[in-house]
């Protein structure tokens, strides 16, 4: 009787030590990369939002007062929105909080949920590779032709670069999410609490 209890206690202790162990170098690297990517994404999003607010605010006031506006204002605002959109997508790719029909998934067994998450990651990585390769070709053409944003000296390639760079960030976030599905599922689930999905 006491031998069985000792074996059970040893198994429990082993399970606790596996769950409560210090994170390995890979987990530490993922944590540092998560913080770095978050800072970069937040920086791009903040700059894009600030540009939009400033341009729209100033041009609206100017149009109301003088009846005219800068011809380049709408173009620059449009490309600021493009940068904002792609980096917001990258941020939400990390948490899986983009627009999704997830209510059915939440009712499935945990193993099936994880499998579907990994399937999502594989799908989005494939789509991302196609988009990055295609959009880099567009940016190269714009550079070779010397195109600029209408009414400004800003290279059009700087605006279009939002697509491959934003998707590159999204792919890093998707890989990060895939890693969490495999090795840190409970943390990923807990991070989603409070986010609204359909």
CA proximity to 197, closest of 98, 87, 95: 98
Report the interhelical angle of 110-145 vs 162-183 (nearest 10°): 160
What own/partner pairs with CB < 8 Å and gap ≥ 24 does 138-147 have? Answer: 138/163, 139/163, 139/164
Q: Where are the beta strands (DSSP E) in 67-130?
A: none
Of the two residues 53 and 8, the one the predictor is more confident about is 53
pTM (predicted TM-score): 0.71
CA distance 173 to 155: 28
**Which among 173, 174, 189 has a CA at the least distance from the CA of 106?**
189
Q: What is the pLDDT of residues 73-87, one digit of tens each?
A: 888 888 999 999 889
Q: What percent of the chain has pLDDT over 70?
A: 80
Query: Which residue shows structure tokens 């769950």?
Result: 19
Each residue of 144-166: pLDDT tens digit? 999 998 888 889 999 899 999 99
Poorest-confidence range of 35-49, 87-101, 142-156?
A: 87-101
**Is a pLDDT exceeding 60 seen at residue 16?**
no
């Amino acid at each position: 009787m006491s031998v069985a209890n000792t074996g059970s206690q040893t198994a429990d202790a082993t399970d606790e030590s596996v769950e409560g162990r210090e994170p390995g170098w890979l987990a530490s690297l993922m944590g540092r990369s998560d913080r770095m990517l978050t800072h970069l994404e937040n920086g791009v999003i903040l700059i894009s939002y600030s540009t939009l607010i400033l341009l729209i605010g100033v041009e609206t006031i100017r149009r109301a007062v003088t009846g005219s506006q800068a011809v380049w204002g709408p173009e620059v605002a449009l490309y600021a929105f493009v940068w904002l959109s792609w980096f917001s997508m990258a941020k939400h790719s990390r948490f899986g909080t983009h627009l999704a029909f997830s209510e059915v998934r939440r009712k499935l067994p945990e193993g099936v949920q994880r499998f579907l998450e990994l399937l999502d990651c594989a799908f989005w990585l494939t789509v991302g590779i196609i988009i990055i390769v295609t959009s880099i070709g567009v940016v190269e053409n714009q550079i070779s032709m010397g195109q600029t944003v209408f009414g400004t000296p800003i290279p059009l390639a700087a605006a279009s670069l939002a697509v491959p760079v934003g998707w590159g960030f999204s792919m890093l976030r998707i890989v990060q999410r895939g890693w969490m599905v495999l090795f840190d599922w409970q943390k990923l689930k807990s991070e989603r609490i409070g986010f609204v999905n359909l």
